[in-house]
Every structure is written in C-alpha cells, then in structure tokens.
Amino acid sequence: MKSRSITGVMVLFLFLIASLEVSADVPHLINYQGYMSDSTGTPLDTTTSLTFIIYNDTLKTTELWRETHNSVIITKGAFSVLLGSVNPLPQSVFDGSVRGMALQVEAGPESTPSLAIVSVAYAYRALLADTAEYAQTSGSGDSSMWNLSGSTLETNDYWAIGRGGTGNLYYGDSIRTMVNLGVGSQVGLNGQSYYYATVGGGWQTKARHNFATVGGGDRNNAGGEHSTIGGGRANSITTDAQRATIAGGNGNIASGPSSFIGGGGANQAIGSDAIVVGG
C-alpha cells in the first residue's frame, strides 16, 4: 500500500481495558482499540504498520517507551492491539504523572499533540498498591501480633484483613487469613498459632481459636475451635467446646463440644451435644 501519515487520516484513541496482572510471570498488557478513516471520513480497510510512543507529558518532552506493530489489520476503520506485547511496558512508565501517547502510521510523522493517558491505563499502578497500607509484624513466624494502622480495610500480605486504628488485635499463624471488622475486637490468641478466625463486626468481640467465628454483637467470645456466635451480648464459648454454637441472646455459655444455644438469657449448655432452645 502507499505510505500513509497521520495527515489525511483520522485516528480515534480508545483505551478500553487495562489488563495488568500482579503475578510476575504474566505479561503487562494494555488492550488498545482505535478507529481510523481517511480525510473524507471514510473508514479504512487495510493492513498497516503502527508505532505507539509514550512520553512523560502531552508535550512529548521525553520519550519513555515505544512499540511498533508491523501488520495491524484495520477493518471498517476499527483496529485493536496489545500494547506491551512487542516491547514490555516497564512498571516505571506509570508513576502517577499524566503521560502522553502518540501514534505513527508507517514512516509518517507522529500525531500532535499527544493523547493524555489517564484513569484506565493507570490501573498499572496497582502493582505498587498505591492506596494499600501494609502492616508489619512485631516478630516472624507464628504467634506474632500484627499491627494495622489507619481505619480502612487493609491487607497484611496473606495474613489479616481488618480495621486498624480501632483497638483491634490480631494474633496467630502469619501465613493464614484472619478477618477482623469489629471495634476493640480480637482474632486469635496471644502465644498461640491459630488461624482463620473471623470477627464480622461488633464491639469487643473475640474469635480466639482455629476457624472460630463471631458475627457481631457486644462482648461475645468464641473460644472453641470451629465455634460460632451469631450475635447478642456477653455470650461465651469456652476453649474446650469445639464446634459449639450460640445463635444470640445475652449471657449464654456453651462449654460442651458440639453444644447449641438458640438464644435467651443466662443459659448454659454444659454437656457434649447439649441443646438449649432458648428462654
């Protein structure tokens, strides 16, 4: 085909998808789609060479990256390429500043001015987790305490998801997930390498064993392995009451393995497999 330049064709830049995986073994790619027509507005049907250049600003002061796609098929004006598939996109290209993108058709001049790259392509910065806060452990290995700062949902590697800055405590096996969305609440137990404990909410609630769960409420304490407290106030499951459940109520105590209390106040399920409906 005859040599084409930006002059005489209309190019519409469309950033539709930024597919950027955190995993180091997956290519960093941006799905780039555009539309090209001639000077009369007629969409092109051809195959051509396109070069994409990223600059540090829209004035094209400093070139940061470029990539040429030699045989881009344009059908009824539409085309699509994967930026980064020829020349990998360095993580440093997107550092929070506005970048400029220019396009060159075959050996013609670059488009001027360059297109500002904004929101969607900046999903690339998720690799650095700009908005995440990472807690540090006070030690290594099991039985360490995790310190989360701030008051937003945070992750501590694969260790904990919860609210910091609210008096919450996190103890346990540092390679397992803990969840703590309460206030003044606790998951795990100091000196023990427990894991997968969950506090869904509430005030001064505690899930203190492997797989222990407290849905919410006020001063509830699930101390047995695989134990569950749905809610209520001042309900307690003792350490040796594995698989025990208290649905709710006030001041109930389950101390027998696989025991159950449906609700009510000041009830006790002492024996193994004991059931108290309520009252």
Residue 22 CA to residue 123 CA, distance in Å, equals 11
For range 129-141, the mean pLDDT = 38
**What per-residue confidence (pLDDT) applies to 123?**
52
Q: If we measure between CA atoms, which residue out of 159, 223, 254, 134 comes closest to residue 180?
A: 159
Query: pLDDT for 59-111, tens place per residue?
Result: 889 999 999 999 999 998 888 898 889 998 887 887 777 888 888 999 888 87
* 262 vs 171: which has the higher pLDDT: 262
Residue 33 CA to residue 13 CA, distance in Å, equals 7
Residue 67 CA to residue 144 CA, distance in Å, equals 48
Q: Are strands 178-180 and 198-199 parallel, antiparallel or unpaired?
A: parallel
Backbone angles phi, psi at 184, to 5 degrees: 60, 30
Backbone angles phi, psi at 68, to 5 degrees: -115, 130
Q: What is the pTM of this model?
A: 0.49
* Residue count (the chain): 279
CA-based radius of gyration for the chain:
29
Q: Which residue has the tokens 């060159």?
A: 104
**What per-residue confidence (pLDDT) applies to 250?**
95
For range 246-273, the mean pLDDT = 94
- pLDDT tier for residue 270 given thresholds of 50, 70 and 90: very high
**What per-residue confidence (pLDDT) applies to 13?**
53
Q: Determine which helix (DSSP H) or strand (DSSP E) holds 63, and give its type and residue range.
A: strand 63-74
Residue 210 CA to residue 172 CA, distance in Å, equals 9
Torsion of CA 204, 208, 210, 216, to 10 degrees: -20
- pLDDT tier for residue 10 given thresholds of 50, 70 and 90: low
For the chain, list the domains and their CATH numbers.
9-128 (2.60.40)
**What per-residue confidence (pLDDT) applies to 174?**
56
For range 242-271, the mean pLDDT = 94
Q: Are 103 and 13 in contact (CB under 8 A)?
A: yes
For range 31-44, the mean pLDDT = 82
The answer, yes or no, to whether residue 256 has pLDDT greater than 70, is yes
Cis peptide before 109 (omega within 30 of 0): no
Q: Are 107 and 101 in contact (CB under 8 A)?
A: no
